[in-house]
């Protein structure tokens, strides 16, 4: 690979220079020597402020000499593949093995500081020499929002160097693309892995909890994560919400990012409700639900109005998996009353329509229903063992937006729902985690066992 300076390199972040099995091996080594710290309660402080659940600390490799050569060999790989003629380090996270990288690659290197050191005879903002036009790549341990990469980048540019993408071991996926564009940095980042890859390994191997058993057992909220452009936008929401134990509901995002890509990633952060609302012939619904088999979600939705055989096609396809098939009855956006939108569509009022649709769904073997709180007491009485989900719930005084037949979370549960859905109220809150905790604590009197100050 001979990367052309000036080419669009922002897409490189989607293609790490380590293969998945290599990432796992690297994580094992870093764990063995204590270079990865993790905390289920997300209490690890970050340099730029805030807290995290995982902290990569390569600067401590100096305490474990065997790791220095190992890490140097890792960084040598992408530098060779890009055709770098020199590299620059951003002190001091990679300083302990920068010399070894130079030895492995036979490449000279620069040290470019974020700030010049005072009182130096030599050049205070960099160490080393470089000729204009040389192909140079910056290296660092991780990238977060990208702010710390700006000064070294512009210094390299002022020296007339031909700048290649940054090479980092871990991309924390926390906004560097936007920051780079704001600052006018026109090169991207090539990571060995993402923080999500590290988190996936830790959780899937039982080293870290997805969330506490108490939080997952007590949480009654399904958070609707809609209208997100890409995985990094989704991750920004899922990462902090993970310890709350909330179920995550996807609708349009599944169609945007795809079942095969989204579900395995998202299930690292919680139970997933694939809100597909399938409504088609039996064979098509069977084919759709087949795509869920490699990574079965907590639940999937189908429209009860598709008839009992259609519902049965989904149930039979997913038999033997933990996935629940939930039948959507009458959408909560349809209005009741004479000449209301429900009567316009179903020629009957919501209660009667939901009763008829529920019979179709149960004949097909559905595990439960999606309905408004208004129809919930009837369905709870008819089908006491079914799972009932109420969408579009709002706390008292919160705008209903495009919903019509909705209620508060407390009333939804009081009327017999197992779970309620909240989207905009949580996602638009100043702190979505605190909003999840507040609704459970203040409105539902449910303790999730979480630190309420975060």
Beta bridge partners of 222: 247, 421
Q: Is 249 a catalytic residue?
A: no
Looking at residue 454, the DSSP 8-state letter turns out to be -
- Residues with Cβ within 8 Å of 421's Cβ and at least 6 positions away in sequence, in order, are 221, 222, 223, 224, 249, 389, 390, 391, 392, 393
| Gap between the Cα atoms of 398 and 423, Å rounded | 12
In the chain, DSSP finds a helix count (H) and a strand count (E) of: 18, 19
| Structural contact between residues 160 and 135, judged by C-beta atoms closer than 8 angstroms | no
Peptide bond into 92 cis (omega under 30): yes
Residue tagged active-site, from 37, 179, 277, 335: 277
- Could you tell me the end-to-end alpha-carbon distance of the chain, in angstroms, rounded to an integer? 45
Q: Distance between CA 188 and CA 343 in Å, rounded? A: 54
Strands 126-127 and 109-112: antiparallel
Residue 54: which residues within 8 A CB-CB, separation 6 or more?
Answer: 36, 37, 38, 44, 195, 198, 199, 202
**Which residues are the active-site residues?**
277
């Amino acid at each position: 690979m001979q990367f052309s300076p000036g080419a669009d390199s922002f897409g490189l972040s989607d293609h790490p220079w380590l293969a998945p099995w290599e990432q796992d091996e690297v994580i094992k080594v870093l764990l063995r020597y204590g270079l990865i710290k993790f905390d289920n309660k997300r209490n690890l402080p970050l340099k730029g402020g805030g807290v995290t659940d995982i902290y990569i600390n390569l600067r401590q490799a100096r305490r474990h000499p065997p790791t220095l050569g190992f890490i140097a060999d890792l960084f040598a790989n992408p530098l060779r593949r890009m055709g770098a003629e020199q590299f620059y380090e951003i002190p001091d996270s990679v300083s302990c093995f920068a010399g070894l990288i130079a030895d492995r690659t036979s490449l000279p290197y620069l040290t470019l500081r974020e700030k010049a050191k005072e009182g130096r005879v030599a050049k205070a903002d960099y160490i080393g020499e470089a000729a204009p036009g040389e192909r140079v790549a910056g290296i660092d341990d991780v990238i977060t929002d990208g702010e710390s990469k700006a000064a070294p980048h512009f210094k390299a540019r002022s020296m007339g160097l031909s700048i290649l993408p940054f090479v980092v071991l871990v991309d924390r996926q926390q906004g560097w693309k936007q920051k780079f564009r704001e600052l006018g940095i026109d090169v991207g980042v090539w990571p060995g892995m993402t923080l999500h890859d590290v988190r996936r390994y830790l959780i899937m191997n039982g080293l870290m909890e997805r969330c506490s058993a108490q939080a997952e057992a007590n949480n009654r909220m399904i958070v609707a994560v809609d209208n997100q452009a890409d995985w990094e936008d989704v991750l920004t929401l899922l990462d902090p919400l993970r310890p709350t134990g909330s179920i995550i509901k996807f609708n349009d995002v599944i169609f945007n990012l795809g079942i095969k890509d989204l579900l395995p990633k998202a299930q690292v952060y919680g139970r997933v409700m694939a809100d597909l609302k399938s409504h088609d012939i039996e064979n098509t619904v069977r084919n759709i639900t087949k795509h869920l088999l490699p990574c079965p979600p907590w639940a999937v939705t189908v429209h009860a109005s598709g008839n009992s055989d259609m519902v049965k096609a989904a149930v039979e396809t997913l038999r033997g998996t933990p996935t629940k098939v939930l039948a959507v009855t009458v959408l909560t956006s349809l209005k009741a009353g004479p000449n209301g939108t429900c009567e316009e569509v179903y020629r009957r009022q919501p209660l009667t329509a939901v009763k008829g649709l529920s019979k179709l769904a149960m004949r097909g073997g559905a595990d439960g229903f999606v309905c408004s709180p208004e129809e919930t007491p009837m369905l709870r009485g008819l089908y006491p063992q079914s799972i009932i989900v109420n969408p579009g719930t709002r706390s008292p005084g919160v705008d209903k937006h495009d919903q019509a037949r909705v209620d508060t979370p407390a009333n939804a549960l009081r009327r017999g729902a197992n779970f309620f859905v909240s989207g905009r109220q949580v996602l638009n809150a100043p702190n979505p985690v605190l909003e999840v905790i507040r609704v459970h604590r203040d409105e539902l009197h449910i303790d999730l066992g979480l630190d309420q100050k975060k």
